[in-house]
């Protein structure tokens, strides 16, 4: 199979999966509304959490790591999506693969979970619901979300590893 036909097959399967997720969600209005609300509040909520972590001295290092991971994930995903230039589903025709929301949200959740395993399940569930909402609202197809999530998780793991080696203690004293 040639690269072009594999890409076409991938796009068809992903688009069909996205349509199926949207159709299934639409048949269950309470879930559809939950996913939509979660999609809309995820980004501002995570920004507020990161800001609060940075402001509170005991969690400042973790907040800074989450901010760095989110910014790096967003920058990298923006560069990739511009290079890939795969249109989103629905009415928006700008590029959507990988999802910047998914990259940033997973980066933040991964950093916050890295030092407290008790938060992993809750943050994972909240993030997953928000990211499913990005599909049910027609902003992305599943592959956009998965690629963004993998990117965000990888960047977060690198940032936390570097943070463990070289914690910038001078930032914490301000």
DSSP state of 57: G
37 has a pLDDT exceeding 60: yes
Options 1.20.144.10, 1.10.3720.10, 3.90.110.10, 3.90.230.10; CATH of 3-172? 1.20.144.10
Q: How many CA atoms lie within 13 A of 119 on its CB side?
A: 11
Q: Summarize pLDDT for 5-35 with one digit per residue, the tens.
A: 667 888 899 999 999 999 999 999 999 999 9
Segments making up each domain of the chain, as ranges:
3-172
If we measure between CA atoms, which residue out of 148, 162, 45, 127 comes closest to residue 53? 45
pTM of the predicted model as reported, rounded to 2 decimal places: 0.87
Distance CA 65, CA 69 (A): 6
**Average pLDDT in the 98-103 region?**
95
pLDDT in tens, 115-173: 776 677 888 899 999 999 999 999 999 999 999 999 999 999 999 999 877 665 545 55
- CA dist 136 and 13 (Å) reads 16
pLDDT digits (tens, 9 = 90+) for 73-90: 999 999 999 999 898 997
Cα angle: 123, vertex 124, 130; to 5 degrees:
90
Structure tokens at 156: 């977060």
């Amino acid at each position: 199979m040639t690269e072009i036909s594999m890409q076409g097959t991938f796009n068809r399967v992903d688009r069909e999966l996205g349509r199926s997720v949207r159709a299934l969600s639409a048949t269950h209005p309470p879930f559809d509304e939950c996913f939509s609300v979660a999609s809309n509040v995820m980004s501002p909520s995570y920004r507020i959490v990161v800001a609060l972590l940075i402001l509170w001295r005991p969690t400042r290092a973790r907040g800074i790591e989450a901010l760095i991971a989110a910014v790096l994930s967003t920058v990298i995903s923006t560069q990739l999506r511009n290079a890939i230039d795969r249109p989103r589903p629905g009415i928006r025709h700008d590029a959507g693969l990988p999802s910047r929301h998914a990259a940033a949200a997973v980066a933040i959740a991964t950093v916050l979970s890295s030092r407290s395993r008790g938060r992993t399940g809750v943050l994972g569930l909240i993030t997953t619901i928000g990211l499913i909402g990005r599909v049910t609202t027609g902003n992305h197809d599943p592959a956009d979300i998965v690629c963004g999530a993998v990117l965000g998780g990888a960047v977060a793991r690198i940032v936390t590893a570097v943070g463990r080696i070289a914690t910038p203690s001078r930032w914490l004293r301000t």
